[in-house]
Amino acid sequence: MLIEQALAAESVLLAVSGSHALEDWQKIMDRKGADVRLVGHTVWVVNSNAARPDAVQSFCKRCQARHVIFVSRSRPKKGDAGTQRNQKAQSFSEDQSAWRPLDNRLGDVTGDIKRSTTGLWLDSLEQVTTGSLALNSYIKDADRQRLKRFWPSDSTFPVHRHTEDGRDGPYEILAAGRLASPFAVWLGA
């Protein structure tokens, strides 16, 4: 199972997720799974200062990181369903220099699409129905500090496992994904 590989990996990305862009979680998972089956990959919208494409690309190459663990917020606010914006990304760039259209066979790549919006490039995705995670079992790649929480501006972090087993914690595990080259891209409307 993909989640077992992700939990055993020394280096992964941890990302807060859930209902997003006026869609419920199951609809998103169904669409992204269909992308993987039809196109061979999907693009997962991310708006996180801690997970810019150059940082994610470097992290994946340097640390052989290939997994993302998607978790829920530990204490969601009432009515918190992520962004309410449902804009569609149309193009991508690995380096903000050369831009190409997203594969037209992909389902909608939606969210709050702005100049700083990025996406994770996944070639496998599986939903997880049980399990939880303790963030402090991981240290952030950028500053080697223990991960304590997510922020609105930092919803995804490249991290390294700090303790053997961080499976019991307040963050419900929702899904696991496998990153494929180019790992992360800039997105444009």
- Helix/strand/coil (H, E, C) string of 98-163? CCEECCCCCCCCEECCCCCCEEEEEEEEEECCCCEECHHHEEECCCCCECCCCECCECEEEEEECC
Please give the Cα distance from 189 to 180 (Å, whole number). Answer: 23
Tokens of 155: 């919803």
* Global pTM value: 0.91
* Placement of tokens 């037209």 in the chain: 104
Q: Are 175 and 83 in contact (CB under 8 A)?
A: no
Please state the domain extents for the chain.
2-40+49-80+122-182
Residue-by-residue pLDDT tens, the chain, 189 positions: 999 999 999 999 999 998 765 788 999 999 999 999 999 999 999 989 999 999 999 999 999 999 999 999 754 444 444 556 678 999 999 999 999 999 999 999 998 899 899 999 999 999 999 999 999 899 999 999 999 989 888 999 999 998 766 667 789 999 999 999 999 999 998
Rounded distance between C-alpha atoms, residue 136 and residue 120, angstroms: 23
